[in-house]
């Protein structure tokens, strides 16, 4: 990374270096006047991960991201990015971080190229590498055809892409994206997911989103923020198991009507319920079953079906598990609010 | 310094492409011309007196224009959210404030320079020295530049450009009225208040073509004070 005036970080925590915690948050508290927005929040994020922040409105996601991007300073606690403290070394942290806030910070009077060049130079990209950095960001965000368009005339989707482009134009080790897919249409969401996934490995990405299926598909790991704290950490499946205590699987098989497939499935250990579902695809003898279990029993289910010579067409985790996790969290927050009100 | 100039360059581009800069400059030039005609040309007076009158009115109009030009500098960025780009870049608050101020100062200098046809007309038609003109212009830039720093500080306090303009105007007027306060209080406080006055006590020597170092230091000190206050105001926002 060619950045003016900022010393290169050597050692195991250099930007983009594989392995090691690139983000370390310990006992972070942030108060707005007397209102606690975040805290106590403690977590670590490894280099190269794509981590999604999940939480209800007001849970503290945006505040956490703003502290990471050095836009806000913490009330107390320690936040380190690539080994640099956000309070003691904000300049170093900012040089290593790219940030897209909920509303992309765009100057409407500039052209796309002018804006990216400005953002790059602001982040310390030297003149000799400016063109290359801007061209790469334009290509990554698929904005080449819009390079000469005035920012104010771009559609919402292109503005969002430009917002991401400005966050990566200086090739930071950490990219922080707050609600990057808000207001995008389905096609744009898929493109945005590809863009974010393309950053994986090379950079550490931390993003928040209200789109549960999207955050689940894009991120390696989810960080559930509940009332300013880390409520749970893990993949969608892990969260579903730990928070809901169950795993939902949808199985599609082909068999004759004489076979009691539901009975076969219900006898597998840990299975608590088997229901017939509408077939996920057409075909003679095709049946779908919704299986609920206390653990991930997909291998056991498949083994049992193979033994019984039932053709398996598809096995997948049920959709909307994350929605159920979210609803569970919403319930927990309401309970907490009621307890606080009573107290 | 390169980041400061980068920010100044973007800010100048914003003035050029927005309606505010050209309209304020045009209105200022129109007002300057009208006041010059009414106050300096319609009454019998010496050329040097007419030039002094020009600097008096043009200085005041330039200061008002500086308030209008400065009110958007930070308030607009906070309103639209673009301030986040600056706040999350490896740039200090001082570099941001200085960059914005330099851009504003460049506009103020351009706006002031565009009035030069009036003193030059007096020079051709009457008897005045080039030194008088240069000192007067130097004073006008110092005066408007100081008000610009006040306006920039006010712009860091709020998201609303209107509120920023009002706050900046109130601070500037309060400092101008120190001259009146100096008239009504007893010595030695009267000297203190007079010396604080943004216009009368400190600007008159420039109007008369007299360059006094203490007056230059006064304007530079007030400018520095408000630029520093603007920096601290922006720094404080990160803790809120």
Please answer yes or no on whether B238 and A118 come within 8 Å at the CB atom: no
What's the average model confidence in pLDDT over A38-51? 92
* A214/A264 same-domain check: no
> Pick from A3, A73, A94: which is nearest to B88 by CB?
A94
**Is B236 an 8 Å CB contact of chain A?**
no
A278: which residues sit within 8 A by CB, 6+ positions away? A288
**Is A105 an 8 Å CB contact of chain B?**
yes
> Pick from B14, B89, B240: which is nearest to A122 by CB?
B89
Select from A234, A255, A285 the last residue of a domain. A234
* Chain A CB contacts of B7 below 8 Å: 122
* A246/A221 same-domain check: no
Residue A221 belongs to a domain:
yes
CB distance A304 to A265 below 8 Å: yes
Please answer yes or no on whether A105 and B85 come within 8 Å at the CB atom: yes
Rounded mean pLDDT of chain A?
85
Please answer yes or no on whether B92 and A32 come within 8 Å at the CB atom: no
What's the average model confidence in pLDDT over B29-48? 84
Distances (CA, A) of A27 to A178, A331, B6, B55: 22, 25, 37, 60
Share of chain A above pLDDT 70, in %: 89
Quote the pLDDT of residue B93. Answer: 95
In chain A, positions 235-274, which contact chain B (CB-CB < 8 Å)?
none
Contacts 24+ apart (CB under 8 A), B175-179: B175/B150, B175/B222, B176/B200
Structural domain containing residue A150: 21-234
For the purposes of burial, counting CB atoms within 10 Å of the CB of B5, is it exposed (0-12), middle (13-18) or buried (19 or more)? middle
Exposure string for A157-175, b = 16+ CB within 10 A, e = fewer: bbbbbbbbbbbbbbbbbbb
Helix (H, G, I), strand (E, B) or coil at A293: strand
Residue A12 belongs to a domain:
no
Residue A4 belongs to a domain:
no
Nearest CA-CA partner of A217 in A228, A226, A227, A207: A207
* Chain B CB contacts of A4 below 8 Å: 2
pLDDT class of A7 with cuts at 50, 70, 90: very low
Q: In the structure encoding, which two tokens stand for residue A144, read together?
A: 């080449």
Measured between CA atoms, the residue of chain B closest to residue A103 is: B81
User: Distance from B25 to chain A by nearest Cα, in Å?
Assistant: 20
pTM attached to this predicted model: 0.83
First CA to last CA distance, chain A: 53
pLDDT in tens, A256-293: 777 888 888 888 988 888 988 888 778 888 888 889 88
Number of domains in chain A: 2
User: Distance from B7 to chain A by nearest Cα, in Å?
Assistant: 8
Helix (H, G, I), strand (E, B) or coil at A197: helix
Q: Taking the CB of residue A32, how many other CB atoms lie within 10 A of it? A: 12
* A79/A201 same-domain check: yes
Quote the pLDDT of residue A235. Answer: 80
pLDDT class of A337 with cuts at 50, 70, 90: low
* A141/A61 same-domain check: yes
Helix (H, G, I), strand (E, B) or coil at B236: helix
User: Distance from B101 to chain A by nearest Cα, in Å?
Assistant: 17
In chain A, positions 131-190, which contact chain B (CB-CB < 8 Å)?
166
Select from A234, A264, A280 the last residue of a domain. A234
**Is B129 an 8 Å CB contact of chain A?**
no
ipTM at complex level: 0.88
pLDDT in tens, B68-103: 999 999 999 999 999 999 999 999 999 999 999 999
pLDDT class of A3 with cuts at 50, 70, 90: very low
DSSP annotation of A294 reads S
Q: In the structure encoding, which two tokens stand for residue A190, read together?
A: 């898929």
* A105/A185 same-domain check: yes
Give the pairing type, strands A76-81 and A35-46: unpaired
* A177/A200 same-domain check: yes
Q: How far apart are CA B7 and CA A105, in angstroms?
A: 15
* A160/A303 same-domain check: no
Would you say residue A15 has pLDDT above 50?
Answer: no
Residue A38 belongs to a domain:
yes
Helix (H, G, I), strand (E, B) or coil at A273: strand
Please answer yes or no on whether B86 and A72 come within 8 Å at the CB atom: no
Pick among A107, A152, A175 to test the B interface (most B CBs inside 10 A)? A107
* Chain A CB contacts of B82 below 8 Å: 105-107
* A36/A165 same-domain check: yes
Quote the pLDDT of residue B138. Answer: 96
Quote the pLDDT of residue A319. Answer: 65
Measured between CA atoms, the residue of chain A closest to residue B19 is: A109
Helix (H, G, I), strand (E, B) or coil at B232: helix
Residue A14 belongs to a domain:
no
| CATH code of residue A315 | 3.30.70.260
pLDDT class of A331 with cuts at 50, 70, 90: low
pLDDT class of A122 with cuts at 50, 70, 90: very high
Would you say residue A153 has pLDDT above 60?
Answer: yes
* Chain B CB contacts of A106 below 8 Å: 82
* Chain B CB contacts of A100 below 8 Å: none
* Chain A CB contacts of B239 below 8 Å: 73
The beta strand positions in chain A, using DSSP E, are 21-32, 35-46, 50-54, 76-81, 84-85, 97-100, 174-178, 204-208, 221-226, 229-234, 247-254, 271-277, 286-293, 311-317
DSSP annotation of A56 reads -
CB distance A77 to A247 below 8 Å: no
pLDDT in tens, B128-179: 889 999 999 999 999 999 999 999 999 999 999 999 999 999 999 999 999 8
pLDDT class of A9 with cuts at 50, 70, 90: very low
CB distance A227 to A308 below 8 Å: no
Quote the pLDDT of residue A133. Answer: 96
Quote the pLDDT of residue A1. Answer: 43
Give the pairing type, strands A84-85 and A97-100: unpaired
Residue A7 belongs to a domain:
no
Q: How far apart are CA A115 and CA A166, in angstroms?
A: 8
pLDDT in tens, A205-261: 999 987 777 788 888 898 888 888 888 888 877 777 777 777 888 889 988 777 888
* Lowest model confidence (mean pLDDT) among A95-109, A223-237, B18-32: A223-237
* Chain A CB contacts of B17 below 8 Å: 109
* A50/A190 same-domain check: yes
| CATH code of residue A154 | 3.40.50.300
**Beta partners for A99?**
A176
Q: How far apart are CA B105 and CA B141, in angstroms?
A: 8
* A230/A246 same-domain check: no
pLDDT in tens, A154-180: 998 899 999 999 999 999 999 999 988
> Pick from B14, B92, B240: which is nearest to A109 by CB?
B14
* A36/A97 same-domain check: yes
> Pick from A72, A107, A123: which is nearest to B90 by CB?
A123
**Is B42 an 8 Å CB contact of chain A?**
no
Would you say residue A338 has pLDDT above 70?
Answer: no
* Chain B CB contacts of A160 below 8 Å: none
Name which residue leads in pLDDT, A11 or B163. Answer: B163
pLDDT class of A57 with cuts at 50, 70, 90: confident
Residue A258 belongs to a domain:
yes
Query: Where do we find the tokens 């920023």?
Result: B164
What's the average model confidence in pLDDT over A124-151? 94
Rounded CA Rg of chain B: 19
Q: In the structure encoding, which two tokens stand for residue A237, read together?
A: 């499946």
pLDDT in tens, A196-221: 888 887 899 999 987 777 788 888 89
The beta strand positions in B40-98, using DSSP E, are none
* A227/A255 same-domain check: no
Measured between CA atoms, the residue of chain B closest to residue A167 is: B85
**Is B39 an 8 Å CB contact of chain A?**
no
**Beta partners for A207?**
A52, A177
Please answer yes or no on whether A101 and B81 come within 8 Å at the CB atom: yes
């Amino acid at each position: 990374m060619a950045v003016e005036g900022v010393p290169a970080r050597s050692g195991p925590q250099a930007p983009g270096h594989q392995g090691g915690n690139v983000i370390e948050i310990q006992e972070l508290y942030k108060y707005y006047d007397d209102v606690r927005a975040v805290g106590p929040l403690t977590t670590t994020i490894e280099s190269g991960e794509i981590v999604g922040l999940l939480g209800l409105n007001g849970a503290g996601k945006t505040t956490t991201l703003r502290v990471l991007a050095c836009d806000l300073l913490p009330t107390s606690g320690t936040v380190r990015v690539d080994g640099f403290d956000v309070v003691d070394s904000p300049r170093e942290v900012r040089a290593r971080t790219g940030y897209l806030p909920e509303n992309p910070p765009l100057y409407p009077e500039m052209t796309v190229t002018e804006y990216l060049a400005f953002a790059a130079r602001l982040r310390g990209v030297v003149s000799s590498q400016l063109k290359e950095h801007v061209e790469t960001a334009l290509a990554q965000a698929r904005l080449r055809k819009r390079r000469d368009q005035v920012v104010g005339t771009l559609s919402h989707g292109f503005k969002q892409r430009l917002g991401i482009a400005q966050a990566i134009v200086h090739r930071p080790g950490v990219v922080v994206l707050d609600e990057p897919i808000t207001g995008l249409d389905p096609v744009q969401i898929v493109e945005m997911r590809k863009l974010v996934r393309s950053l994986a490995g090379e950079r550490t990405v931390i993003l928040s989103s209200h789109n549960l299926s999207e955050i689940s598909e894009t991120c390696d790991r989810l960080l559930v923020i509940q009332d300013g704290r880390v409520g749970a950490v893990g993949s969608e499946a892990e969260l579903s198991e730990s928070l809901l205590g169950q795993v939902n699987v949808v199985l599609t098989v082909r068999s004759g009507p004489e076979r009691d497939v539901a009975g076969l499935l219900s006898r597998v250990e840990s299975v608590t319920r088997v229901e017939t579902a509408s077939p996920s695809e057409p075909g003679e003898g095709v049946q779908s079953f919704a299986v609920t279990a206390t653990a991930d029993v997909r291998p056991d289910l498949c083994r049992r079906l193979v033994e019984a010579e039932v053709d398996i067409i598809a096995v997948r985790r049920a959709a909307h598990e994350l929605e159920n996790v979210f609803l569970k969290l919403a319930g927990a927050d309401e309970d907490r609010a009621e307890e606080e009100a009573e107290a | 310094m390169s980041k400061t100039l980068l920010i100044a360059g973007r800010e100048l581009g914003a003035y050029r492409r927005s309606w505010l800069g050209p309209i304020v400059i045009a209105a200022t030039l129109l007002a300057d011309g009208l006041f010059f005609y009414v106050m300096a040309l319609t009454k019998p007076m010496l050329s040097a007196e007419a030039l002094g009158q020009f600097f008096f009115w043009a200085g005041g109009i330039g200061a008002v224009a500086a308030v209008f030009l400065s009110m958007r500098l930070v308030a607009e960025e906070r309103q639209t959210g673009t301030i986040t780009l600056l706040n999350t870049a490896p740039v200090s608050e001082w570099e941001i404030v200085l960059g914005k101020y330099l851009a504003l100062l460049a506009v103020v200098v351009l706006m002031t320079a565009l009035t030069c046809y009036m003193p030059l007309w007096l020079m051709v038609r009457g008897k005045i020295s080039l030194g008088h003109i240069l000192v007067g212009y130097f004073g006008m830039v110092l005066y408007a530049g100081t008000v610009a720093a006040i306006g920039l500080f006010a712009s860091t306090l709020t998201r609303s450009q209107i509120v920023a303009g009002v706050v900046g105007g109130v601070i500037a007027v309060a400092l101008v009225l120190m001259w009146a306060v100096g008239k009504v209080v007893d010595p030695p406080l009267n000297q203190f208040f007079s010396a604080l006055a943004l216009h009368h006590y400190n600007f008159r020597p420039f109007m008369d073509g007299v360059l006094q170092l203490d007056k230059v230091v006064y304007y530079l000190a007030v400018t520095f004070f408000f630029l520093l206050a603007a920096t601290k105001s922006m720094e404080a926002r990160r803790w809120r």
